[in-house]
Structure 1
Amino acid sequence: MLRYILYSVIFFIFSIDVAFSKEEAQTSPRQKVVELIKKGLSEWSKRDFESAEKFLVNAQVQALEIRDTQLYITSTNNLGILFNTKEEYFKSRECYQVVLDFVSEENVSKSRFLALLNMGISFRKSGDYEHAILYLIKTLEYAKNFPSGKELASCYNEIGTVKLQQKLFDEALEFFQKSLQIRERIGHKKGVAGSLNNIGDTYKKMGQIRKALDFYQRSLLIKENLGNKKLIATTCNNIGLLYIKLEDYELAKNNLRRSMSLKEEMKDKLGIVNTCISFGQLFRIQKNYTESEKYLLRGNRIVEEVGSLHLKKEIYKELKELYLTKKEFGKMTTYYDRYVEVKDSIFNVESMKSINELETRYQTREKEQQIEVLNIEKEAKANESFYMKIVLGVFLFSLLPIGFFAKQRQKTKILKEKVAASNNESTRLGMELHDSIAGDLSHLCRSMEKVNGDDTFVKQLRKISDQVRGVSHQLNMNAIANQNFRDALSDSLYLNHFPQNIDLQIHLPVGFELEDFEKKINLIRIVQELVNNSLKHAQASSIVIKFRKESKSIQFEYADDGIGADLNKIRKGNGWFNVQERAELLSGKIDIQTSPGNGLYFKLVV
């Protein structure tokens, strides 16, 4: 979050320095917009996001009224970064696209650079790494137009962050090192500290604790010279955690105390909670359960006040571990239940964000279509003239095809509504299954594990509980549709628990993606239906799934080596009707080949 606030402040300062001369700054309407942006950033720094959004939207509107393009771009870009912070990624990308539409590609400007960079960050934060890399590569090329090198270093740093989240550690280190070299050359101390910290994060995730510690300490020295208390406190906390891993508990304690002292001085409540968690871990490992409990309960009180779900999850997890170690199973069960409840709440919040984003996309598309229809009607009325009689004659002859198309349109509408209802019901069932049955099964498993954790029946029950949770995720099509296609396909087929005796091959070209979420949902549903048939009825031992793009079409091929079936019988089955309806909705062409003893081959061109 700090990174995005920093970008906002940098962007604002740049805009003021470049866009406004001293004479213009005295102009009342322009100065009013500048003040609105300042107020928005001020409210943002206080974490009052609603108020910040109101000020920035107001600035955006007033900038349009006075026809000041630069101020409009400034407020829009900052609004996009705010939406990123609020995890409203679709809204943030809409803002960045507005900026990109305003600023031509030929115009080398900081505004376009920041919009491209933030677009990549938005995709990265939403877990869409493929699109993040695509935008960051565009940003990389654009950044080469700036002589300072600062922009180029930022691009390398962001690409490294994506690679780190993808667990491509060698590539992450390569990009972080490139960023570090540029920042050292131009003397950008804060940037150098950030790059060193990121390299430390990478080595930490690689399990190379000594190397991670070295880079964290180098980063800390620079932050101390800069006097940035917040960054110092965060780094001290990270160093403390590394010393815990190295079992040097005294140095761990010293660093955590320093971190806590700075966070208390700044009244950084979220930071205090994080350090309370770190202290809880340290004292639990040292078997000082009284101190561990003291810090964790303090963190729990604060987190209840600030209401961060993610920090609640971490606190409950640590309290559960503490009481498990102390063999206080009653308290352990209480906090484990709270941990599961919060984890499920986070899942539901993310699902609702996905649903809202999908609805926003749908509504945007509907509005665009309505505008297009209105424009056509307007143009038609403008062209009305004495040719009306001729048009009327043509109209009479066209009644037959119009009737046909109207009937076809009605059929498509009914089919669309039916498929949409099926998707909505599937999603509803998935969420209910996740919140009720899966939760009850999990609670039952924990209760039985306390009595006899090694019992075969208990293990089987745990397996069933995991499978129910997996099925709930498979059913939630809104959550799946918000992922990139590869991850969506993986989750929908529950690949982590796919039968090991089945040879499953999935062929997806690098960068294969579908922007149309309806097309994505329907194709994934077709795959699920075919796989379900192969596993339950066809007795297949091998399944091959292929997707590829050719020109403007998408080609999907599916084959199994099962027992096959009579084609006429297949066409009478409910599963085939579902596949056929979805293919028809996509205006796709189907080719299906099967016979008894010869497996199944299915091809769909959309």
Structure 2
Amino acid sequence: MKNFYYFTIIVLLFSSETNAQDIKKTLIKAFTSQDSSDYYFKIAKKNIKTPADEAQYYFCKNARCCDYNQLDSSIVYGERAEKLLLNGDVNSLLTVYNNLSKVYRKQGQYDKAIQYSLKGMRVAEKEKNYNWTAYFNANLSFIYHDFESYQKGVFYGKKALKYWLSLEKKNPDMISNALNAIAINFDDWNRPDSALYYHKKVFKYYKGKDTLYIGETYNNIGNTLLKQKKYKEAKKWISIALKINDKNFTDNNGVKDANYYYERATNYTNLATIAYELDDFEEAEKLFGKAYLYAKKSDNAEKLRDFYYQRAKFNKKRNNLSKAVQDQENYIKIRDSVFDVERAQTFSELEAKYQNEKKEKQLLQSKSEIREREIEIENKNTQFLILGLISLALLCIIYLVYRQQKMKIKQQEQEFELKSAIAKIETQNKLQEQRLAISRDLHDNIGSQLTFIISSVDNIKYAFDIQNAKLDRKLSGISDFAKATIIELRDTIWAMNKNQITFEDLQTRIHNFIDKAKEVKNEIQFNFTVGAELKDLQFSSIEGMNIYRTIQEAINNSIKYAEAKKIDIQVEKVANKIQIAVSDDGKGFDLNTVEKGNGLLNMQKRIDEIHGELDIQSSANGTKITILL
């Protein structure tokens, strides 16, 4: 990868459209020289004569600083180069976007890293440069991995792999890059089988001595095996990676580039983790010392975060709690500086903006093609009329011009209305899709897990002749609790799948709940009435759910504690408010002495959330709970 990077920079310098051959040669020397780089850059700066020369100068400075981990300088030179290259050399501009994305990723500024990757992707897609399109998709995969958004990381990694595999001339380095991106996302997503599958696919493209160029693959396989607690096997793979990385990231003069420190930080952190998991605390201490030095020199937020996380676990295991707390605080400090809700929101906004721009371009292109066909048909008709009826030609032209202008104005009005409608529909669809996705996840994941618990408990009771009555009651209690939870879950999914909830919906839902309650307490008489003028009154799903849960809790209390024979639920309009009253003829309780449990507190909290009022009156003749909305 390193050799490929150098080759790309030199090719771009030679292919740049500039008349100053001397400055190109000087910039190549500045980029490739180890000891005299600054000297050659000074000479090159003096020879700048055109904006193109200046653009290539800052382009080369950006690449050099990026390669040698001078992150802040790389950003400064990259932003200057971007402004000068916007209407110039596209390949140089794409390289600058790639470098800026990499630098911001190292600093843990993932929102800016995504921003520059998306900028580069827009240019690459416009130029139909699928190699660069793949490269930026791979960048996004690594960025989302570092941000612990592994599902998106896998998505963009697979897009990159698809692009690179579609190219006529397939580059093993690029394919390996995509496979590695997919695999590390699966690894930290706790899907080790998928991670190992993609890691080991790399060996299809590298065989024999060529495997000496993929040290990161050896390390990543070791990392996955480490998480599976296969420590000895993991150590073997990571040790190989360490030897390979020493060779790959050190030039003939012994100079180390930025990747050298990044990879060694990874290697030594993993080896230290293996050592303390095997209770070799002395070896772990030494390895963590090396890992810290390399993590600091890598200037990479992700590596420092991983180091502090693992060393905190190590110090905790050996009962050095003060150091464990200190490492944990350092870990949290780095994590909090990188991961926050606003940054995640920025990611979504950047992606949404990118996708909307793509859709708008496609829509405009389609409209343009339709308009071109319309104009072509109109021109043919006009020519036919001119040839056939010269005497009417002037009148037809005037009519067509008038008609065209009127159609244009109308079309502009329709386009504006269409865009507004599309934007509104897209927003509503996205919200509905998110709610449906959440409800599906609740149903498919939590629902299936609860069903599994019920089935497992029932199978245990069926398979074993349980003589212990206490154990039998405990198992039955677990099964009943899980069944009740499923019912609660279904109620929640019901509310999430509705944009609006009416009192009629609530009445139907509560009748279902009452029917189930009657199965337990069939002697209780229920009465539920809703004023006719309120039946179609609509609430948001959150408001409707809070009202439903409060009524449900009130009925439950009457059944469980009040020993009631009759429960009434009445919904009516009182003055300018809606009153919901749940009353029973039970034994009641003393409001001044009773300890308020979760049920009463939750009722109060739910009604407060929807800006309502809750009143509870209780005596020996019964209890009445009143809700005012």
Q: Provide TM-score, normalisation by structure 1.
A: 0.52
| Partner of residue 185, structure 1 | 208
**Which amino acid counterpart does residue 399 of structure 2 have in structure 1?**
I
Three-state SS of the structure 1 residue aligned to 2:167 is helix
- Residue number among 215, 219, 226 corresponding to 1:204 in the alignment: 226
Name the SS for the 2:279 alignment partner. Answer: coil
Give the drift of 1:572: 6.0
Residue 358 of structure 1 is matched in structure 2 by 352
In structure 2, the residue matched to 1:509 is none
Task: Spell out the pairing of 1:135-534 with structure 2 (5 A cutoff).
Answer: 135-142=160-167, 144-146=169-171, 149-164=172-187, 167-180=190-203, 182-187=205-210, 189=212, 191-225=213-247, 228-263=260-295, 274-293=306-325, 299=330, 308-310=334-336, 346-359=340-353, 361-362=355-356, 387=396, 389-391=398-400, 413=420, 477=431, 489-490=437-438, 494-495=442-443, 496-498=445-447, 528-529=497-498
Kindly report the root-mean-square deviation, in angstroms, between the aligned alpha carbons of the 2 structures: 5.7
Distance 2:505 2:420 in 1: 33
Q: For 1:419 and 1:97, how far apart are their aligned partners in 2?
A: 22
Residue 36 of structure 1 and its aligned partner are, at CA, apart by 0.9
CA distance in 2, matches of 1:408, 1:12: 45
- 1:200: Cα distance to partner? 0.9
Give the C-alpha shift of residue 259 in structure 1: 2.1
Cα pair distance change 1:492/1:55, threshold 3 Å: farther
Offset of residue 97 of structure 1? 3.9
Partner Cα distance (1:414, 1:282) in 2 = 57
Give yes or no for the alignment of 1:122 onto 2:140.
yes
Q: Secondary structure at the match of 1:187?
A: helix
Task: Report the structure number with the largest CA radius of gyration.
Answer: 2
> 1:340-380 CA deviation, whole Å, 9 max, x = no partner?
xxxxx713321243235435655776799799999979x99
Tell me, in whole angstroms, the C-alpha distance in 1 between the residues paired with 2:402 and 2:297. 84
* CA spacing shift, 1:293–1:76, aligned 2, 3 Å: closer
Q: Residue 231 of structure 1: SS of its match in structure 2? A: helix
- How many Å separate the matches in 2 of 1:181 and 1:101? 32
5 Å-filtered alignment, 1:535-554, equals 537=508
Quick one: structure 1 residues 386 and 143, their matched pair in 2 at CA, closer, same or farther if it must change by over 3 Å?
same
- Structure 2 residue aligned with 1:55: 77
Distance 1:237 1:406 in 2: 62
Residues 92-114 of structure 1 deviation map (CA, whole Å, 9 limit, x = unaligned): 2341242243256xxxxxxx434
Distance in 1, matches of 2:350 and 2:396, equals 48
CA distance in 1: counterparts of 2:99 and 2:298, whole angstroms? 25
| Inter-partner Cα distance in structure 2 for 1:397 and 1:154 | 55
CA distance 1:159–1:311, change in 2 (3 Å): same
Matching residue of 2:158: 133
* 8 Å contact from structure 1 (residues 117, 136) kept in 2: no
Q: Deviations along 1:119-160, whole A, 9 cap, x unmatched?
A: 2442564443345314312312427545xx444433443443
286-295 or 81-90: bigger deviation: 81-90
Q: Report whether the alignment pairs 1:95 with 2:120.
A: yes
| 2:498 partner SS | helix
How far the C-alpha of 1:240 sits from its partner, in A, is: 1.0
Equivalent residue letter for 1:220: L
How far residue 195 of structure 1 moved from its aligned partner, in angstroms, is: 1.1
Any unmatched runs of 5+ in structure 2? Answer: 26-46, 145-150, 251-259, 383-393, 453-492, 513-532, 542-629
Residue in structure 2 matched with residue 25 of structure 1 by the alignment: 24
Moved more, 359-368 or 133-142: 359-368
For structure 1, which runs of at least 5 residues remain unmatched after alignment?
105-111, 313-344, 424-475, 482-486, 504-523, 542-568, 578-606
Specify whether residues 417 and 502 from structure 1 end up closer, same or farther in structure 2 by C-alpha distance, changes over 3 A only.
farther
Change (3 A) 1:357 1:173: closer
Note if contact 1:236-1:259 (Cα within 8 Å) is conserved in structure 2.
yes
Q: Among the aligned pairs, what percent are the same residue?
A: 12
**Deviations 1:169-213 (CA, angstroms, capped at 9, x unpaired):** 334323322324644535363x33111001112212333233222
Tell me how many residue pairs correspond in the alignment.
414
CA separation in 1, counterparts of 2:422 and 2:311? 58
Aligned mates of 1:413, 1:294 — CA distance in 2: 53
Q: TM-score, normalised by structure 2?
A: 0.50
* Cα shift at 1:242: 1.9
Distance 1:248 1:203 in 2: 19
After alignment, is 131-140 or 6-15 more displaced? Answer: 6-15
Contact 2:86 2:93 in 1 (8 A): yes
Are the counterparts in 1 of residues 291 and 307 from structure 2 also a CA contact under 8 Å?
yes
Q: Does 1:39 align with 2:61?
A: yes
Deviations 1:268-310 (A, max 9, x none): 787566544433322222223344345556x47xx86xxx334
Once the two structures are superposed, what CA deviation does each residue of 1:361-417 show, in whole Å capped at 9, x if it has no partner?
Answer: 55776799799999979x99x999864642488699999x979x9799869958966
Q: Name the structure 1 match of 2:9.
A: 12
How big is the shift at 1:249?
1.9
Q: How far apart, CA to CA, are the structure 1 residues paired with 2:407 and 2:168?
A: 56
Instruction: Provide closer, same or farther for how the CA distance between residues 90 and 387 of structure 1 changes in structure 2, counting only shifts above 3 A.
Output: farther
Distance 1:279 1:184 in 2: 36
- Residue 54 of structure 1: CA displacement? 5.5
